[in-house]
Chain A
Amino acid sequence: QTHFLFLSLQAKMSRPVQAQRLEGVDKNIWVEFVKLAATYSKVNLGQGFPDFPPPDFLKEAFVRALREENHMLHQYTRGFGHPPLVKILAQYFGKLLGRHLDPMTNVMVTVGAYQALSCCFQAFVEEGNEVIIIEPFFDCYEPMVKMAGGTPVFVPLRPKAPKDGKLMSSADWQLDLAELASKFSKRTKAIVLNSPNNPLGKVFSRGELELIADLCVKHDVLCISDEVYEWLVYDGKEHIRIASLEGMWDRTVIIGSAGKTFSATGWKVGWTVGPNQLLQHLRTVHQNSVYHCATVAQEAVAQGFQRELELYGKPDSYFVQLPKMLQQKRDWLVQSLDAVGMKPIVPEGTYFLVADISEFKSDVPDVPNSDEPYDSRFAKWMVKNKGLAAIPLSAFYCESHKNNYSHFIRFCFAKEEATLKAANDILQKWKREKNSP
């Protein structure tokens, strides 16, 4: 956008009509890639949502809520969260954190975890503030920080070579402690932590979280902890909540998502958990932006959590079954990719998997001086020519780092067996075509 420096005698509309806070945050990779997938893909492993339904008990809860004699579930509920939902969330997360939570002050419901993130930045980040973002990152963090007037400061996870003969794991991508420490300054307002991490699937270990926590405490920094994939953890790994570490409860906002927890991304129910001194400011943003979230979905999610509380840790719990089911799918996709020469980074968590497509580079020649990162051109070519949709890893890096890792793409494996088999068929056929003279 060009800015005209005319004097005030000029018509007002000669300057941009939009507010400056929108500068540099208008681009969005999903708009383009979702459209491409819709147009070309036969197998869509791109955008992160399950192609299997939410569990029956949840769908039944929704329908029950609709059949209620009390049609007031079609009207406004409490703005900061439907009472049955905040009560059960307080109970459930209180149990997980080993702490008494007040449903009215320590929990707030949002329109998806996405809106929770937005509230955090609007409440705590302004011009002059820096926010540390670990790369690769869920792409919305950067524009949200910028729209709040803040400055994102990036620190990368760096891959270490896996042990001989083994596939790389998301655990092999690590922060360099000295590098991380150097990013903290007196301008640092917050760090965004996403564990399990989208797109890599990394599940931060206790040791790693303690290092981050120490820096937060030392520099008196807020931690925005995006834990939407908290249940999607494999190989017996443990998801550790940074808020449970020493010195962290008072400075952490935990973000969760019913969409990921219950495989119902279209319901857009999320939440924040934290101390009242932080949540009070999220409430202020919320009451001045959307105010209420839809009632019926909150009622159904509350019932879902009630069931899960009763089945806590038992084999029938959805939070036990879902990761089991997804681990199997992860392993299928790992196998499919490995078999054709795409090198998967085995994720410890989430339903995403990043793979190195170097061996397929010959299909998509390099274009020198191209503005577009290689992996993005590769992913576009792949969906158009092979019908397989995935997301380029560069989507999860800031502008200046988009070419750092140019040959990785992200697959979503929260898909029916038939979908993953179809993906396998595409990959196998592709490999055969490459090998034939």
Chain B
Amino acid sequence: SQTMTFRHKNTRRIEGLDSNVWVEFTKVAADPSIVNLGQGLPDISPPSYVKEELAKAAAVDRLNQYTRGFGHPSLVKALSQVYERVCGRKIDPLTDILVTVGAYGSLFSTVQALIEEGDEVIIIEPFYDCYEPMVKMAGAKPVFIPLRYKNDGSSVSSADWVLDPAELANKFNSKTKAIILNTPHNPMGKVFTREELQVIADLCIKHDTLCISDEVYEWMVYKGRKHIKIATLPGMWERTITIGSAGKTYSVTGWKLGWSIGPQNLIKHLQVVHQNTLYTCPTPLQEALAQAFWIDYKRMDDPECYFYSLSRELESKRDRMAQLLQEAGLKPVIPDGGYFMIVDVSTLNVDLSDIDEKQPYDYKFVKWMITSKKLSAIPLSAFCGPETKRQFEKYIRFCFIKKDSTLDAAEVILKNWNKQTA
């Protein structure tokens, strides 16, 4: 019999969602001769006790088999303790927490559980790129609002990029199901202040909207700033899902463990999605993470706690990165948190008009920089909705959670760049 090619198409829900900035750029930057400041992954080592706990866990036979679907008991217990302390409220490990495959998996579970066709979801630009396709895959409409530069001073900090409260209020309507908040913010590094969060909270309460709060960089906050959880503002706990990440907390992005924390009446729906998509997360990794959390929970009053020591380590890397870029004649946006830094590269006046591709300037710039300078970054327009891409296409994003030798190599490139164009 003749072979018939399968003629059925993919579902509508994934139509147009196939391309992805990471697939494009991680492939290009995989060449080891390239100094990779693109994708957000540390090349510093995770703390040794974290690695040791994983080795210990894998040696226990039953930890190589299935654990509780919604989260390994010792892990959800540890998470509830840490976050009870941070939030100042009781958190039930079994009903208020879901462990997921990375914060990515938490975002997916949250959107699939609570968002559907007919809903609108407000996304602040620039945004971590998966928010848009996830909202679309759920059949809903993303509504974008950009951060806008408000200062006319000489130094540029992520704090200078703000939401216009009137513009934000206009985005809310009866169809608005949720707003996605990311603080500390990727790629900008902005740490939303209490006042800024209150503006968002007021609108959520007024319009009875949910808040999906992506706080994966919660521990990476630099001098003078404080990370505030919007769920702790009055009226917000009952309408907020707060998302965290082991990968970012412990510099183990390859463990792919994250969590959603919130009220039972919301988390229970995320749990339903989870039990119908992957059921349970890997056991030994969860056990190791639980043990690491206990170690740091016990020293949350101690500056040596990894949550704080990592932040101090990153702050000096941030300052070094900023200096390197400034010496190359650039004006980076100094982040208040996170491990990314964005910079306007148009002042370098690199002429790319001969490159024919119909891509935004920053895409072309990064590809050119990778091939000719052996330095990689990520184009910022990847983090923007269609209306705002032009506004941000002169910016690129650097990741600075890198060991000294990587930053040394970046320094050489940036110093030479300056010399060549002088």
Chain B 21-40 near chain A by CB (<8 Å), digits 1 or 0 = 01100100000000000010
Partner-contacting stretch, out of A167-175, A291-299, A345-353, A387-395: A291-299
Which of A51, A53, A78, A289 is B105 in contact with, Cβ under 8 Å? Answer: A289
Partner-contacting stretch, out of A121-129, A366-374, A418-426: A121-129
Chain B 277-293 near chain A by CB (<8 Å), digits 1 or 0 = 11111111100000000
- Cross-chain contact B114 with A124 (CB below 8 angstroms): no
Is B272 part of the contact surface with A, judged by Cβ < 8 Å?
Answer: yes
A403 to B: closest C-beta gap in Å = 24
A115 to B: closest C-beta gap in Å = 4
B76 to A: closest C-beta gap in Å = 15
- Cross-chain contact A294 with B41 (CB below 8 angstroms): no
Chain B 185-225 near chain A by CB (<8 Å), digits 1 or 0 = 00000000000000000000001111000000000000000
- Cross-chain contact A21 with B116 (CB below 8 angstroms): yes
- Cross-chain contact B134 with A288 (CB below 8 angstroms): yes
Chain A 1-32 near chain B by CB (<8 Å), digits 1 or 0 = 00000001001110001111110011010110
Alpha-carbon distance A140/B280, docked complex (angstroms): 13
Alpha-carbon distance A162/B368, docked complex (angstroms): 72
Q: Which residue of B lies closest to A262 (CB)?
A: B64
- Cross-chain contact B64 with A217 (CB below 8 angstroms): no
Write out the residue numbers on chain A whose beta carbons fall within 8 Å of the beta carbon of B10. Answer: 123-124, 281, 284
- Cross-chain contact B112 with A19 (CB below 8 angstroms): yes
Partner-contacting stretch, out of B42-50, B162-170, B343-351: B42-50
B38 to A: closest C-beta gap in Å = 12
Which of A17, A53, A222, A280 is B265 in contact with, Cβ under 8 Å? Answer: A17
Is A384 part of the contact surface with B, judged by Cβ < 8 Å?
Answer: no
Is A265 part of the contact surface with B, judged by Cβ < 8 Å?
Answer: yes
Chain A 367-386 near chain B by CB (<8 Å), digits 1 or 0 = 00000000000000000000
Which of A51, A126, A251 is B11 in contact with, Cβ under 8 Å? Answer: A126
B343 to A: closest C-beta gap in Å = 23
Write out the residue numbers on chain A whose beta carbons fall within 8 Å of the beta carbon of B22. Answer: 79, 287, 291
- Cross-chain contact B66 with A49 (CB below 8 angstroms): yes
Write out the residue numbers on chain A whose beta carbons fall within 8 Å of the beta carbon of B20. Answer: 287
Write out the residue numbers on chain A whose beta carbons fall within 8 Å of the beta carbon of B280. Answer: 112, 268
- Cross-chain contact B108 with A290 (CB below 8 angstroms): yes
**CB within 8 Å: A-B pair count:** 233
Which of B3, B14, B63, B257 is A266 in contact with, Cβ under 8 Å? Answer: B63
Which of A53, A288, A289 is B64 in contact with, Cβ under 8 Å? Answer: A53
- Cross-chain contact A266 with B278 (CB below 8 angstroms): no
- Cross-chain contact A66 with B18 (CB below 8 angstroms): no
Q: Which residue of A lies closest to B20 (CB)?
A: A287
Partner-contacting stretch, out of A68-76, A224-232, A307-315, A356-364: A68-76
- Cross-chain contact B55 with A63 (CB below 8 angstroms): yes
- Cross-chain contact B279 with A112 (CB below 8 angstroms): yes
Chain B 44-87 near chain A by CB (<8 Å), digits 1 or 0 = 01100001001100110111111111000000000000000000
Given contacts A13-B208, A18-B113, contact A296 B17 (CB under 8 A): no
Write out the residue numbers on chain A whose beta carbons fall within 8 Å of the beta carbon of B353. Answer: none
A213 to B: closest C-beta gap in Å = 10
Is A406 part of the contact surface with B, judged by Cβ < 8 Å?
Answer: no
Residue in B43, B276, B277 whose Cβ sees the most chain A Cβ within 10 Å: B276
Write out the residue numbers on chain A whose beta carbons fall within 8 Å of the beta carbon of B68. Answer: 34
Write out the residue numbers on chain B whose beta carbons fall within 8 Å of the beta carbon of A17. Answer: 114, 210, 265-266, 269
- Cross-chain contact B18 with A284 (CB below 8 angstroms): yes
Is A59 part of the contact surface with B, judged by Cβ < 8 Å?
Answer: yes
Write out the residue numbers on chain A whose beta carbons fall within 8 Å of the beta carbon of B51. Answer: 66, 71, 74
- Cross-chain contact A76 with B64 (CB below 8 angstroms): no
Is B150 part of the contact surface with A, judged by Cβ < 8 Å?
Answer: no
- Cross-chain contact B7 with A220 (CB below 8 angstroms): yes
A41 to B: closest C-beta gap in Å = 14
> Which residues 24-72 in A have Cβ within 8 Å of B in the complex?
25-26, 28, 30-31, 34, 47, 49-54, 59, 62-63, 66-67, 71-72
Given contacts A288-B130, A289-B105, A291-B130, contact A250 B6 (CB under 8 A): yes
Other A-B contacts than A72-B43, A118-B276, 12 sampled, CB-CB below 8 A, are: A22-B269, A75-B254, A77-B254, A115-B278, A189-B8, A220-B4, A247-B3, A250-B6, A278-B6, A287-B20, A289-B104, A295-B254
Residue positions of A touching B, CB distance < 8 A: 8, 11-13, 17-22, 25-26, 28, 30-31, 34, 47, 49-54, 59, 62-63, 66-67, 71-79, 111-112, 114-115, 118, 122-126, 140, 143-144, 147-148, 189, 214, 217, 220, 222, 246-247, 250-251, 263-268, 277-278, 280-281, 283-285, 287-297
Residue positions of B touching A, CB distance < 8 A: 1-8, 10-14, 17-18, 20, 22-23, 26, 39, 41-43, 45-46, 51, 54-55, 58-59, 61-69, 101-102, 104-105, 108, 112-116, 130, 133-134, 137-138, 174, 207-210, 247, 251-257, 265-266, 269, 272-273, 275-285
What are the nearest 5 A-B pairs in CB distance?
Answer: A266-B283, A295-B254, A19-B116, A53-B61, A251-B6
Q: Would you give 7 A-B contacts (Cβ < 8 Å), ordered by A?
A: A12-B208, A19-B114, A71-B46, A246-B1, A250-B5, A290-B278, A294-B255
